[in-house]
Amino acid sequence: MRAVVRSVFVIAVATCVALVAYVVLVATSLMWVGSHHSTTTSDAIVVMGAAQYDGVPSPLLASRLQHALDLWKNKQAPLIAVTGGKRAGDRFTEGATSRRWLTDRGVPAMSIIVEAVGHSTWESIENLAPLLRDADVRSVVVVSSSWHVQRAELSLEELGFTAYASASPDGVLSGSSEKSKLMREIAGVAFGRIIGFGRLFDITG
């Protein structure tokens, strides 16, 4: 009986150690990707949405759009795809707000692909995917915040695209609520890598 208990204990400890090591590995990977910027030429730049205020991008969204604009001006891709729907009561979607911000700064409307329905990372990318395929896009540079860009990159890869991450310079997360956001991202990427990001969305919504 003692041998059985000892075996169960050893297995439990080994499992805990493996889980902790996996989470640490995921967190390290997430932070590494969030601190690097791909310079690979691709078919399109994908900008993940963020809050907008009556047609004006929030500072977070503006930072992502400016980074995407810089990449486009450097000819890293000929197209920019923007994403994001709207909340109840909003007059504008994140996607439409992003498109107007870009056209106001010289990007031709015909060079912008708009997804304006999604309310989450997976929803936006899943809705964007057929629009990208219709435009013969196979490879993308995805732009988002440092703590979020790897989830977007891996989600695009799950849907069959060759994806490269390029984090926007949003600054470092600070404060308890922001650190909580980072922990949720680590958990999301950890589970998504195992079960798939589409299945994770089906479970968590």
Give me the half-sphere count of Cα atoms (radius 13 Å) on the Cβ side of residue 205. Answer: 0
Region 121-125: what's the mean pLDDT?
96
pLDDT, mean of residues 15-38 = 82
What is the DSSP pairing of strand 56-57 with strand 52-53?
antiparallel
- Global pTM value: 0.88
Of residues 79 and 4, the one with the higher pLDDT is 79
Among 23, 203, 25, 37, which Cα is nearest to 120's?
Answer: 203
How far is residue 200's CA from residue 81's CA, in Å, rounded to a whole number? 24
pLDDT computed for residue 30 by the predictor: 86
Grade residue 34 by pLDDT with cuts at 50, 70 and 90: confident
Domains of the chain are 2-204 (3.40.50.620)
With cut-offs at 50, 70 and 90, classify the pLDDT of residue 21.
confident
- 9-18, 60-69, 180-189: which range is least confident on average? 9-18
Whether the per-residue pLDDT at 20 is higher than 90: the answer is no
Kindly report the average pLDDT of the chain as a whole number: 89
pLDDT at 171 > cutoff 60: no
